[in-house]
Each structure stands twice: as structure tokens, then as C-alpha cells.
Amino acid sequence: LAADLQPGDAIGFTFFTGYMAMAAASIFFLVERGQVDGKWKTSLLISALITFIAAVHYYYMRDLYLETGQSPTEFRYIDWTLTVPLMCVEFYLLIKPYGGKVSTMWKLIGYSVLMLVTGYIGESLDKENTILWGVISTLGYLGIVYEATIGDVKKVALSSNNPEVANAVRLLRNFVIVGWAIYPIGYMCMEGNLLASTGWNLDLLYNIADAVNKIGFGLVVYSSAMSSTKAAA
């Protein structure tokens, strides 16, 4: 396996760094979990599970990419099917102490399912209509953006009247708007799609986005947990 990585293969590089970063992040979140207040422990465990699940799938994806040179679409979506709903759970755990409702979590998960199922169809099963499926998928994505900026999540932030929540919600929103937006850009770089002519690579963009969103979001939760633990001490 290792022998197949060619000099200058940037995509291969990111599969390796992605794999290792996810594995290291899992250990980090799991071990640091011991240091935070009880109410944050579940959140840190979820962060660790998200990066652990990603590490396992990066292991497969790296393999498939190095052996065949192809985009490991199936594993990508298997990973997202598990990790995106877990990120919705993570959002929910963050707003729950301030009155976040379980129905908000289910809304976010519902939008995610729409986004991922149609994205997979457009990327694997019906490439002829890849743009159409991308548009439908984007509706799911926009649903999540809506909840984070105007809808349920925002309402919790406003009604809580608490600067700590306002901050958490702002960060959360930024991840959804900026970090998650890298994925549709990657998707548009596929052959026959709008950004194909840029020559950018879908896997390169997805790998960068995964690192930002999975590890970055976990780190944000971690630092909220640490400062709230210190404030309570």
C-alpha cells in the first residue's frame, strides 16, 4: 500500500494526513474527555466517535484510491451517512442546556438525509443528471443553513439571553455556512458539472472539508467545554 503513493500526489497525501489526523483527534477527544465537566462528557465522546468513524473510512478510501486511482464515492457516503447525523446530535447537545428541542435535531437529520441520498445518486448512480441531483441536494443543505441562521437554533440563542450560547451558535453557524460549503464546490468539480473546467479535484476538496468540519467542530466544542469547566471551578 505505502509503496503506491507517488511523489507529488496531493490527493494521496491528503488521504494519508486525513487518516492520521482523524485517528489522532479521536484519541485527543477521548482522553481529554476526562478533564471536562460531566455535562460536556457526552459531547466530547460524540466528537471522538465522529473522527473515529472517519479514520476507519479514510483507511478504506486511501486504499481504494491508491489501488485504483478512483474516487472512493461509496465509502465517502457511508462515512457521511453516519457522521453527519452525529454532527446533528452534537449541535443538539450544544443547544439543549439552553432550551434546544429534540425536534430540532430530527429536522436537521431529516435535511441531512435528503442532502446525502440525492448527493449520492448524483455522484454515483445517475451521473447524467448530476446537476439536477446537486440542486435537490442543495435544498437539504439550505434547510440546515436556515435552521442555523434564522430558524430553531437561532431562536434558542435569542431566547436564552446568554452570551455563551450566542457564541456557540455563531460558531456553529459559521461551520455550516463556510466549512460545509466546500462540499458542494467539490461536487461541482465533477466531470460534466459547473466547475469541471477549473481542474480542481473533488477528493482533495472533500478531504480538506472533512478535516475542517470534523476535527474543527470537535475542537470548538472542546474549547467551550474547557472554558465552561474552568468557569464552574
Ligand X SMILES: CC1=C(/C=C/C(C)=C/C=C/C(C)=C/C=O)C(C)(C)CCC1
Min dist CB 57 to a second copy, Å, is: 8
Among 22, 43, 52, 153, interactor with a second copy by CB under 8 A: 52
Cα–Cα dist 216/58, whole Å: 17
Q: Which of a second copy, ligand X, none lies near 87, with the C-beta cut-off 5 to 8 A by kind?
A: ligand X
Of the ranges 39-47, 55-63, 136-144, 223-231, which one interacts with ligand X (CB under 6 A)? 136-144
Binding to a second copy by residue 16, rule CB under 8 A? yes
Compute the 3-state secondary structure of the chain and give helix, strand, coil in percent, each to the nearest 5: 85, 0, 15
Cα–Cα dist 138/115, whole Å: 6
| Binding characters for ligand X, 63-92, by CB under 6 A (x = yes) | -----------------x--xx--x-----
Cα–Cα dist 147/160, whole Å: 16
Q: Which of ligand X, a second copy, none lies near 130, with the C-beta cut-off 5 to 8 A by kind?
A: none
Residue 33: Cβ within 10 Å count: 18
Min dist CB 42 to ligand X, Å, is: 17
Cα–Cα dist 100/89, whole Å: 11
Min dist CB 158 to a second copy, Å, is: 27
Binding to a second copy by residue 76, rule CB under 8 A? no
Query: Which CB sits closer to a second copy, 80 or 217?
Result: 80
Among 104, 207, 213, 224, interactor with ligand X by CB under 6 A: 213
CB-CB contact of 100 with 155 (8 Å): no
Binding to a second copy by residue 171, rule CB under 8 A? no
**Alpha carbon distances (Å) from 61 to 12, 142, 179:** 10, 28, 21
Among 64, 114, 171, 195, interactor with a second copy by CB under 8 A: 64
Burial class (CB in 10 A: 0-12, 13-18, 19+), 153: buried
**Alpha carbon distances (Å) from 168 to 110, 174, 202, 209, 221:** 22, 10, 30, 20, 8
Chain residues in the site for a second copy (CB under 8 A):
2-3, 5-9, 13, 16-17, 20-21, 23-24, 27-28, 30-33, 35, 38, 41-42, 45, 48-49, 52-53, 56-57, 60, 63-64, 67-68, 72-75, 78, 81-82, 124-125
